[in-house]
Amino acid sequence: MTGEVAVLGAGMHPWGKWGRSFVEYGTKAARAALADAGLQWSAIQSVVGANTVRCGYPGQVSGATFARALGWQGARVTSVYAACASGARAIDTARAQILSGMADTVLVVGSDAAPKGFFAPAGGERPDDPDWLRFRVLGATNPAYFALWARRRMAMYGDTAEDFARVKVKNAAAGAANPYARYRSPVTAEEVAASPVVADPLRLLDICATSDGAAALVLGSMETARRLGMRRPVRIRAVSSVSPSHPRTALDLPDIATDSAPPGSPASDPFRPSIARAAYEEAGLGPEDLSLAEVYDLSTALELEWYEDLGLCGPGEGAKLLREGATALGGRIPVNPSGGLASFGEAVPAQAIAQVCELTQQLRGQAGERQVAGASAGITVNQGLFGHGSSVVAVR
Amino acid sequence: MSPTRVPVVDGWFSSEGGEFRLLGTCCRGCGAVYFPREDVFCRAPGCAGTELTEMPLSRRGRVWSYTDGRYRPPAPFPSGPEGEWRPYTLIAVELAAERMVVLGQGAPGVTVADLAVGMEVEVVPGVLGEEGGRTLTTWHWRPVAEEAS
Ligand SMILES: [Zn+2]
């Protein structure tokens, strides 16, 4: 274990399609996190921004963008990009600064104003960019990859479209109780089945939307938390930050092909389970110690995959765990009690931070109707394009 | 005059010798195979190899998974914004010899209803679309007809 940092404050901007600037969302989330921490902006020593993709500069220097919006006050500034894992990388950077003694109070912000429809690469003729190539040569959108994995689960494990729909029904029920969620209505299995197929076997309601949204955290040293009179702060105990092992044999965004495994070589360590394993090792706990988990349900089927990769059940048993009700609110190990991306949609640089905001609320016992009783330990997990694996463990 | 035919990406496939094949590269140092081709450095972590030679990939493999695209993908997919959108099939194929999975579109007329995980498919030349007066060529996966044994 490398030591813990305290969550001094957490704040979000409600998710939706608001038609405003990511700077506005992020600044509001930052101000909410500062208020929650009871700290003045001037007390923040470092700002870490999770970058959003913009063809100009501002989104790509998000740390400075938010620092300017809040008012230049001389703090250290960092900006990070890791696609879907950007928020987790921002948390990781803040934690490293705190544990190394570089800063006592760090503001982490992620925010986005998402485009309509499929995520697409930036323009231009860029055949050296694998993400550009998969759209150019194959028209392979993100949902196409989610669908390949969903179809594979059906063939390997006997999962059904009804199982996938059950994930949406569960997460929509939780999201209905979350004031920050974009979608706040229950969804039925019939509604999922009646929605149009986007990429066989996945339908529109199996796939998360794109959204505007923002999330922020104020992190600090345990000593700072004590000084602020916080007797039992939520603590971040682990931030996993792993890349795959060569040869990477799982076909993932934005690959056109996997690595090849040399003849006779043993299969390499699969990537997704290694993300959680590193977090468990660093935190000194295991799946049996968890009260809840927040996972990237970019598709309903992918949530089932994460159950297995987190060790909540064995390979192929995800749908069974779901059917038993174990992962619903009130179940043995609620997954996505926030409502997940199914209820929020994707605001790429914000979502991994929003996951930790949810853990914070749950561990403080402030989650209202969606409170997991007696929550004492939670995990988040996500994955960004180009081999960014991330997982955060928080305890109280 | 018929439009010029150009590969959507140079050097990824060829019909040289009359047989259509995907072209990867192979590291002379460690034997790792790459598709899309890697021409400068081997990516195996323990290998400093910089000599990569072109290598045709297996013609046949088995379906690892498949899906389709019911909505028009965004640019740079050469579908053109006008006209009716016809869904395409996308097939991920496991090549036994290379121990790798390669994505590709299904041949015209191949729908998800024609496919199953584990089914044998072969690579065939195909057309991706028309763009700027040119026909962009590509590779397609097509189920192998059952052969009488
Ligand atoms: Zn090599």
Percent of chain A at pLDDT above 70? 99
Which of A125, A130, A144 has its CB closest to that of B90? A144
CA dist A97 → A93, A150, A258, A275 (Å): 6, 39, 35, 22
Among candidates B20, B99, B97, B111, which has minimal Cα distance to A248? B99
Contacts of B40 (CB under 8 A, 6+ apart): B50, B52
Write b or e for each residue in A219-229: b if 16 or more Cβ atoms lie within 10 A of its Cβ, otherwise e. Answer: bbbeebbeebe
How confident is the prediction for chain A on average, in pLDDT? 96
Would you give the DSSP letter of residue B59?
A: S
Measuring CA to CA, which residue among A44, A39, A50 is closest to residue A78?
Answer: A50
Question: Is the pLDDT confidence value at A291 over 80?
Answer: yes
Assess whether pLDDT exceeds 90 at residue A4: yes
Is A136–B76 a contact, with Cβ atoms under 8 angstroms apart? yes
Asked whether residue B148 is domain-assigned, the answer is no
Residue given tokens 């939307």 in the structure block:
A209
Confirm or reject contact between A209 and chain B (CB < 8 A).
Answer: no
* Residue-level pLDDT at A229: 96
In a domain, B48, yes or no: yes
Put simply, the answer to whether A120 touches B70 (Cβ < 8 Å) is no
Q: Is the pLDDT of residue B148 over 70?
A: no
Burial A289-316 (b: 16+ CB within 10 A, else e): ebbbbbbbbbbbbbbbbbbbbbebbeee
The DSSP secondary structure of B65-98, one letter per residue, reads EEEEE-SPPPTTSTT-SSS----EEEEEEEETTT
Q: Is residue A43 part of a domain?
A: yes
Q: Is the pLDDT of residue B80 over 80?
A: no
Q: Which pLDDT score is estimated for A262?
A: 74
Does A334 reside within a domain? no
Q: What residues form DSSP beta bridges with B138?
A: B126
Tokens coding A346: 């994707």
| A60 part of a folded domain | yes
Tell me which residues have their CB within 5 A of the ion that is ligand 1: B 27, 29-30, 32, 42, 44, 47, 49
> Is residue A194 within 8 angstroms of chain B, CB to CB?
no
| Whether the Cβ atoms of residue A393 and residue A237 lie closer than 8 Å to each other | yes
The pLDDT assigned to B81 comes to 66
Biggest CA-to-CA distance, chain A: 60
Q: For A154-182, what is each residue's pLDDT tens digit?
A: 999 999 999 999 999 999 999 999 999 99
Closest residue in B to A257 (Cα–Cα): B102
**B57 in a structural domain:** yes
User: With contacts defined as CB-CB under 8 Å, which chain B residues touch A156?
Assistant: 117
Largest CA distance in chain B: 52
| Cα–Cα distance for residue pair A381/A242, rounded to 1 Å | 12
* CA angle (B40 as vertex; B37, B45 as ends), nearest 5: 90
Three-state SS for B136?
strand
Distances (CA, A) of A249 to A260, A269, B126: 7, 9, 26
Indicate the length of chain B as a whole number: 149
Q: CB A257 to CB B68 under 8 A?
A: no
Q: Closest chain B residue to A262 measured between Cα atoms? A: B32
**How many Å apart are CA B13 and CA B16, to the nearest integer?**
9
Domain hosting A9: range is: 5-114+211-227
How is residue A123 written in tokens?
Answer: 């323009």
**Residue A40 lies inside a defined structural domain of this protein:** yes
Total domains in chain A come to: 1
Q: State the residue range of the domain holding B40.
A: 4-143
Distance from CA of B29 to the nearest CA of A (A): 12
The answer to whether residue B70 sits within a structural domain is yes
Domain tally for chain B? Answer: 1
| B112 closest CB neighbour out of A200, A251, A257 | A200
- As for the ipTM of the complex, it is 0.95
- Cβ(B48)–Cβ(B80) below 8 Å: no
In a domain, B90, yes or no: yes
CB–CB of A140 and B103 under 8 A?
yes
Question: With an 8 Å Cβ cutoff, is A246 touching chain B?
Answer: yes
Q: Chain A contacts of B79, Cβ < 8 Å?
A: 139
As a whole-number percent, the residues of chain A with pLDDT over 90 amount to 91
CA pair distance A271, A391, nearest whole angstrom: 13
| Residue A3 falls in which region: left (phi positive, over 0), alpha (psi -120 to 50) or beta | left
Q: Determine which of A131, A145, A151 to mutate to test the interface with B (most B C-beta atoms within 10 Å).
A: A151
Q: Is A64 on the interface with B (CB under 8 A)?
A: no
Cα-to-centroid distance, A250 and ligand 1 (Å): 20
Q: Does residue B149 fall inside a structural domain?
A: no
pLDDT of amino acid A1: 46
CATH value at residue A93: 3.40.47.10
A325-340 per-position pLDDT tens digit? 999 999 999 999 999 9
- pLDDT score for A349: 97
With 90 as the cut, is the pLDDT of residue B68 above it? yes
Q: What average pLDDT does this structure show over A287-297?
A: 98
A283 in B contact zone (CB under 8 Å)? no
Three-state secondary structure along chain A?
Answer: CCCCEEEEEEEEEEEECCCCCHHHHHHHHHHHHHHHHCCCHHHCCEEEEECCCCCCCHHHHHHHHHHHHHCCCCCEEEEECCHHHHHHHHHHHHHHHHHCCCCCEEEEEEEEECCCCCCCCCCCCCCCCHHHHHHHHHCCCHHHHHHHHHHHHHHHHCCCHHHHHHHHHHHHHHHCCCCCCCCCCCCCHHHHHHCCEEECCEEHHHECCECEEEEEEEEECHHHHHHCCCCCCEEEEEEEEECCCCCCCCCCCCCCECCCCCCCCCCCCCHHHHHHHHHHHHHCCCHHHCCEEEECCCEHHHHHHHHHHCCCCCCCCHHHHHHCCCCCCCCCCCECCCCHHHHHCECHHHHHHHHHHHHHHHHHCCCHHHCCCCCCEEEEEEEECCCEEEEEEEEC
Cβ contact, residue pair B9, A156, below 8 Å: no
What average pLDDT does this structure show over A263-292? 92
User: Best interface-test mutation with A: which of B89, B99, B117, B131 has the largest number of A CBs within 10 A?
Assistant: B99
Six token digits for residue B97? 């010899």
